[in-house]
Amino acid sequence: MLSKEENERFTRVGPGTPMGALLRRYWHPVAPVQELTSESPTKILRVLGEDLVLFKDKSGRVGCLADHCAHRGASLLYGRVEERGIACAYHGWLYDTSGSCLECPAEPAGSMFHLTVKQTAYPVRRLAGLYWIYMGPDPAPEIPRYDVWVRRDLQRRIVAGPNLECNWFQAIENGVDSFHASILHQDAGGRAPASTTRGVLDEIDHIDSWPVSFGVQKRYYYTSGWWRQHPWIFPNIVCLHGVTQHNTPIDDTHVLRFRLYFEPRAENSEGPDSTEEVNPLEYGGPVKEPPHAQHPVARYDMRKSVEAQDFMAWETQGPIADRSTERLATSDRWIVELRDVFRENLRRVEEGLDPLGVVRDPAHGVIETELSSSSPERMAARGAAARGR
């Protein structure tokens, strides 16, 4: 169990919190590139407890500014995008993507007052069909070039949402919870296990895990002879065969979710550079009724999808799970290890050091997750080969 104080330390993400400081050392995806257009060039965001506006000016530059104009606090969501930036709809104060104020139109001719004005701004980059922002101290690190995000022989697609209505740490712990899938998702794919208590636990022979440069690599070995990789990219990306699941905290009790799917392209074909690609986009539908109700009012259709089952497990723990009352067992070793990794990296940030997985070299090579080696197609082939021996 955790003390209430340590639970707060792990779950709170706003400005000035220890976990907020840690998470601000990483780039976070916030929107698919299709969501900024000439007809709709602004988008409201809430990330790590801060209200922001993502915008694309008429020169094609994309910026991210604090939502409330430094002048009188009107929302920049309604700002008019221009060649040089975005102008507040209220009094026309014009900001560029760095947050510098370029004009205060109502000030006297020759006034340099605008030079004293600075709007909070965060850098924006584009990768794998998503816009990413960095909210931490300068200098900004690089977005790590993970193989499944950048390889040109892979094609990718994005599923945005549904968003999670509970604390982000509940989703991350679920991602390293090694045995829940055999029970919670026992009927996935039409399976009908003999025991609903044990589910399909007996399909697992053993599980190995080891630390890697970006987090933890885990490998499941099955009695049928095949295996799959299940890496965790620190701090908030859960990976499965065919998908990386991104969990960007909106605030302490909501999570912005993207799933980035990948699969091999046709043989000898290559796609565009990952900084330029526009990937197919779909939006995940609701997993409960009513769609935004909380437990116990909300009802989750446990027969609908694996995702609905996961949402039930995450959200019914409460908006922020009370870990002071939990009872961990031997099978929860990966939960304990995950928390230890967070403790160590919270300490590193407090000491002024880079946390795990931060990349500084802009020329760094592709980082192998080994996810593509455990794609459904390859797993099926390994299983068939094993059964034929």
Using one digit for the tens of pLDDT, what is the confidence trace for 72-96? Answer: 999 999 999 999 999 999 999 999 9
- Looking at the predicted structure, is the pLDDT value of residue 388 above 50? no
> Is residue 142, in this structure, part of any structural domain at all?
no
- Looking at the predicted structure, is the pLDDT value of residue 374 above 90? no
> Is residue 347, in this structure, part of any structural domain at all?
yes
Answer with the one of 134, 167, 192 that is the final residue of a domain.
Answer: 134
Q: Are residues 41 and 123 in the same domain?
A: yes
What distance in Å separates the CA atoms of residue 130 and residue 147, rounded to the nearest whole number? Answer: 16
Q: List pLDDT tens digits, range 11-66.
A: 999 999 999 999 999 999 999 999 999 999 999 999 999 999 999 999 999 999 99
> Is residue 82, in this structure, part of any structural domain at all?
yes
Mean pLDDT value of segment 158-179? 95
Answer with the one of 84, 105, 134 that is the final residue of a domain.
Answer: 134
Higher pLDDT, 191 or 8: 8
- Looking at the predicted structure, is the pLDDT value of residue 375 above 70? no
> Is residue 139, in this structure, part of any structural domain at all?
no
Which pLDDT score is estimated for 372?
65
> Is residue 352, in this structure, part of any structural domain at all?
yes
Q: Are residues 151 and 130 in the same domain?
A: no
> Is residue 18, in this structure, part of any structural domain at all?
no
Q: Are residues 223 and 313 in the same domain?
A: yes
CATH code assigned at 47:
2.102.10.10
> Is residue 276, in this structure, part of any structural domain at all?
yes
Whole-model pTM over 0.75: yes
Tally of structural domains, the chain: 2
pLDDT band at 386 (very low <50, low <70, confident <90, very high): very low
Q: Are residues 52 and 174 in the same domain?
A: no
Which pLDDT score is estimated for 383?
41
- Looking at the predicted structure, is the pLDDT value of residue 217 above 60? yes
Domain of residue 156: give its range. Answer: 147-388
CB 267 within 8 A of CB 275: no
Q: Are residues 78 and 163 in the same domain?
A: no
